[in-house]
Amino acid sequence: MEILHEKKLKYLEEKANEIRQDIVKMLLEAKSGHSAGSLGMADVFVALYFHVLNHNPKKPNWPERDRVILSNGHICPVLYATLAHAGYFKLEELKTLRKFGSRLQGHPHRGSIAGIETTSGPLGSGLSQAIGMALASKLDKKKNRIFCLMSDGEHNEGNTWEAIMFAGKNRLSNLTAIIDRNNIQIDGFTEEVMSLDSLRDKYEAFNWHVLEIDGHNISEVVAALYEAKAIYEKPTVIIAHTIAGKGVSFMEKNYLWHGASPNKDQAREALSELRTLEGKIKSEHE
């Protein structure tokens, strides 16, 4: 495990803020897309791609790479922005989000750009795809890991629970699922639409190792991801408690921003708040 020194933590927090700013700019340019979940998961994606993941942007098809599966494909702005910042493609291309002919469509599809492992869109299928990769890696005796990013709302899907049962039964210890537990979905708050709690108890009943963290505390995110690597007898799920729309006050915890993009005035306000936060991050680490 690479130690998360203060200097590196500052870098990761600043990178997450940069990615949030790019997300706002992308969604403004596209005039459509999903704001809340994309902003909420920036810290998790930064921890993965800039500290934990075993990957090489210069060799994106390296056979021994770790795989990241985005099940809730609608938050692809955070994936695209992270991949661009990590060096998979040029930052300028982020401005083409959702435009005709762009490689960056509203849901990612495999083969469009380097770093996209699967096609996603219909919710509930990502964990099954990740399980297939994890099982294949075990059969091939490979040491790479599979990470599956999931929404809490997609746990309304029955095939998600079939996948959870299968992974637990087959003790896929090279699989780590990360749930964006922001408590919102397109129709409202998750506990009002279809109550999910206790996710911990349910996963534990199906033989998963369960961790619950603050999804905006990068130190906690990193620690949980490394703990998952140390679990050899079962798969791990990290329930990352996040704030939808994190960093933009008028979006935070508001399910109406699940599938909405900002207009010019809203984007200006959002970017102003994020730039102010950028200054706070620097001062906190001085």
Q: What tens digit of pLDDT does each residue of 188-234 get?
A: 999 999 999 999 999 999 999 999 999 999 999 999 999 999 999 99
In a domain, 1, yes or no: no
Q: Among 259, 271, 286, which residue's Cα sits nearest to residue 31?
A: 259
- Note whether residue 279 is domain-resident: yes
What pLDDT, on the 0 to 100 scale, is given for residue 94? Answer: 97
Structure tokens at 269: 């306000």
Cα 4 to Cα 16: distance, rounded to the nearest angstrom: 15
The answer to whether position 180 is within a domain reads yes
Q: Please report whether residue 230 resides in a domain.
A: yes
Type of residue at 180: D
Distance CA(176)–CA(236), nearest Å, equals: 5
| pLDDT exceeds 90 at position 35 | yes
Spell out the long-range contacts of 270-273 with Cβ–Cβ below 8 A and sequence spacing 24 or more. Answer: 270/24, 271/21, 271/24, 271/25, 273/247, 273/248, 273/249
Count how many Cα atoms sit within 13 Å of the Cα of residue 36 in the half-sphere of its side chain.
25
Per the domain annotation, does 41 fall within a domain? Answer: yes
21 — pLDDT class (breaks 50, 70, 90): very high
pTM: 0.96
Residue 2 has pLDDT above 70, yes or no: no
Region 99-118 average pLDDT: 95
Contacts of 69 (CB under 8 A, 6+ apart): 117, 118, 120, 126, 127, 129, 130, 133, 146, 147, 148, 149
Looking at the structure of the chain, the number of domains it has is: 1
98 contacts 32 by C-beta, under 8 angstroms:
yes
pLDDT in tens, 41-84: 999 999 999 999 999 999 999 999 999 999 999 999 999 999 99
What's the length of the chain? 286
Q: 226 lies in a domain?
A: yes
DSSP symbol at 89: S
Report the pLDDT value the prediction gives residue 8, as an integer from 0 to 100. Answer: 95
Domain range for 77: 6-284
What pLDDT score does 121 carry? 82
Please answer whether residues 131 and 67 qualify as being in contact, where contact means their C-beta atoms are separated by less than 8 angstroms.
no
What is the Cα–Cα distance from 17 to 81, expressed in whole angstroms?
11
Q: Do 177 and 234 meet the contact criterion of CB atoms below 8 Å apart?
A: no
Average pLDDT over residues 257-269: 97
Beta carbons within 8 Å of 64's beta carbon, 6+ residues apart = 54, 142, 143, 144
| 198 upstream amide cis, omega within 30 of 0 | yes
> To the nearest whole number, what is the mean pLDDT of the chain?
96
- pLDDT for residue 141 is more than 60: yes
Give the strand order in the sheet containing 175-181. 67-70, 146-151, 175-181, 236-241, 209-214
* CATH code (residue 265): 3.40.50.970
